[in-house]
Amino acid sequence: MQQCKSRRRLRPARVAYSLVSDLLLCIQICVLFDYSPSREYTAMVYPLFEYTFFLYVVFDYIHLRLVCKGSPKLEGLVTLSNILMPVKFLLIAWFRMIFVYNVKQPFVDFGLRGVVGHTMAFFGFQLALIMVSFENILFIMKTNVVYPRLGPYWTKFCCVLYLCLFIPNTFFQMWFAFGIFWGFDTLDVHGDNPNPMHQLMIMLVDRMWMILVGMLPLWFAQVGRKTQAHIRVTFELNTEAWEDDIHVTEGTVSIRKASIPA
Of all residues in the chain, the percent with pLDDT exceeding 90 is: 18
How far is CA 115 from each of CA 91, 169, 236, 262, rounded to the nearest angstrom?
18, 21, 50, 50
Strand partners, 251: 237
What is the pTM assigned to this prediction? 0.75
The domain locations on the chain are: 5-230
Residue-level pLDDT at 162? 93
Average pLDDT over residues 17-28: 51
Determine which of 11-15, 49-53, 136-140, 158-162 has the lowest per-residue pLDDT on average: 11-15
In tens, the pLDDT along 199-257 reads 777 778 888 888 898 888 888 888 877 777 777 878 776 655 555 555 555 565 566 66
Q: Can you tell me the distance from the alpha carbon of 96 to that of 83, in angstroms, rounded to the nearest whole number? A: 22
In tens, the pLDDT along 118-138 reads 778 888 999 999 999 999 999
